[in-house]
Structures are given as C-alpha cells and as structure tokens.
Amino acid sequence: MHRFHIPPGSANGAEVLLSPEESHHALRVLRLGVGDAVTLLDGAGVEAHGSVLAADKRAVRVGVRERIVHPPLPCAVTLLQALPKGRLMDTIVEKATELGAARIVPLLTEHTISRPDEDHAASKLEKWRTTALEAVKQCGNPWLPRIEPPVTFAEQLRRNERFDLALVASLHPGARPLRLVFEEFHARKKRRPATLAVWVGPEGDFTPEEIAALVENGVQPITLGRLVLRCDTAAVALLARVLGEVEALEGK
C-alpha cells in the first residue's frame, strides 16, 4: 500500500488533504485515482488507512476509514553520529530511521573532515530530514526521528544529557560486549532501558581524549568485534544490535 506523510494531528477527522508535494507524488508519480487505497503516517505515532476521495491537478483528498495510535517507542534511542565524508550521512540517517532511532545528532569531532558552513549545514539538515521522511514512508515506521543541526563534540557534552544507558563503539581493549552491558543493566534495574545514547565516531574514530571524556561522563565503550568497520557500517550495526537487545528484554 502507498504511504504518505501528513502533519501531526491531521488524521483526527474523516478526511485529509495531502500537501502539494505529496499530492504531486500521488498523482504524477504513482498515478493514483479515486478509490485507490493509501496509508497516512504523521510521524508522531498515528497511522491512518483510507482511500482517495477526490483528486485534481493540485490536490488529493483522502477519506480516513481507520486510525491506529501506536504506543510510544519502548526505548528512545539517540544516535550521536560524527559527521562522515561525502554523502554517507544520508545513508546513516536512512538506515537509522528504518531501524527505529528516535533522534539523530550530527557531531563535529576532532577527526571530522566534513565541516559545512552555516548555509551548507542548513541545506544538509533539510536533506537529512527529507531522507528520514522518505524512509518512514518506505518502511512504515510510525515515528519520525528528530534530526538536529550539527554540534561540536564539546557542545554535546556540555548539554549534560542523562540516559539510562550511554554507549560508544570502540576498538579499545577495555571495550565490553554489548550483551553483558544490557544484562548488567537489567540485573540492577529489573527493566529495559527507556532512553539510550549511541555514540559513533568518524573516519579515524574518536581521539583518545574524546573517549576519555565520554567515559568520564558515564558513556560505556562497547565492542562490535575485532574488525575495523566504516563509520556508516558501525552506526547501522550498533543500532541494530542495541535495538535487538532492547526487544530481547521485553517481558523480563
């Protein structure tokens, strides 16, 4: 079934008017007509099913027959991703959205090569948010992640955010297995984490000083194995494993 994004709260009534962009996609790309079934996602947990009631050259009107309100995410995962070179961040945003990340924060670290100026950063942010929007429509995720403007490593630490668990992918000999960290958390708290931060470094990884600063702020180094992964591979692998561990604790 074809999926379209709508603003939060739009599916509360019996009908929804798609935005000009979504209407164009429905009419000119998908060639939908009256009676065709569609799914609407508002990015805030609401999924609506219906069909096209009317369509002209500029707008599509959808009749809502069913509205599903999904529960909040069992664990809100924040991906703190050092900006990689080129367009790799686009891929990371897409895959993180598909996997169910709640928030993505691009980081400027000591080894970050890509450092966009203010205008370029604004256009990149818009591109990442569009990428996330397309990803939720593709995979059916009812929750659209919040994607923030890039911040420096030091600025993010100064925010002094608190999470149930905070992890950093690391090749340091002292890095621990992910499952062990989750098992210890569950043994202490008797529940799964409700908030979780995942730090992933750039090409060349975080510096030893940055790792030390993370550890000092309660972030635990964890291992993804003995192989050196590209930063985009590491982000996807770590998110997938983290969310798998969260699901494994359901009902325990």
Shared domain for 144 and 184, answered yes or no, is yes
Mean pLDDT of the chain: 92
Q: What is the separation of C-alpha 79 from the centre of its chain, rounded to a whole number of angstroms?
A: 7
- State the amino acid at position 106 in one-letter form: P
User: Considering 23, 38, 69, which residue would you say is the last residue of a domain?
Assistant: 69
Please tell me the pTM assigned to this model: 0.91
Picking from 39, 69, 99, the residue at the C-terminal end of a domain is: 69
Q: How far apart are CA 153 and CA 82, in angstroms?
A: 8
Q: Is the pLDDT of residue 41 over 90?
A: yes
Question: Are 6 and 102 contained in the same domain?
Answer: no
Q: Could you list the residue range(s) of the whole structural domain that residue 16 is in?
A: 2-69
105 and 198 in a common domain: yes
In whole angstroms, what is the distance from residue 141 CA to residue 118 CA?
Answer: 31
The predicted-structure confidence for 59-117, as pLDDT tens digits, reads as follows: 899 999 999 999 988 899 999 999 998 889 999 999 999 999 999 999 999 988 777 76
The residue among 69, 101, 121 that closes a domain is: 69
Query: Cα separations (Å) of 207 from 35, 76, 132, 192, 213?
Result: 57, 27, 29, 31, 10
The CATH number given to whatever domain includes residue 46 is 2.40.240.20
CA atoms within 13 A of residue 110's CA, in its CB half-sphere: 9
Percent of the chain scoring above 90 in pLDDT: 73
Q: Is the pLDDT of residue 251 over 70?
A: no
Query: pLDDT digits over 224-248, tens only?
Result: 887 778 888 999 999 999 999 998 8
The CATH number of the domain where 108 resides is what? Answer: 3.40.1280.10
My answer on whether 24 and 81 are in the same domain is no
pLDDT digits (tens, 9 = 90+) for 151-169: 999 999 999 999 999 999 9
Q: Same structural domain for residues 36 and 83?
A: no
What distance separates the 2 farthest-apart alpha carbons in the chain?
Answer: 62
Please check whether residues 101 and 7 belong to one and the same domain.
no
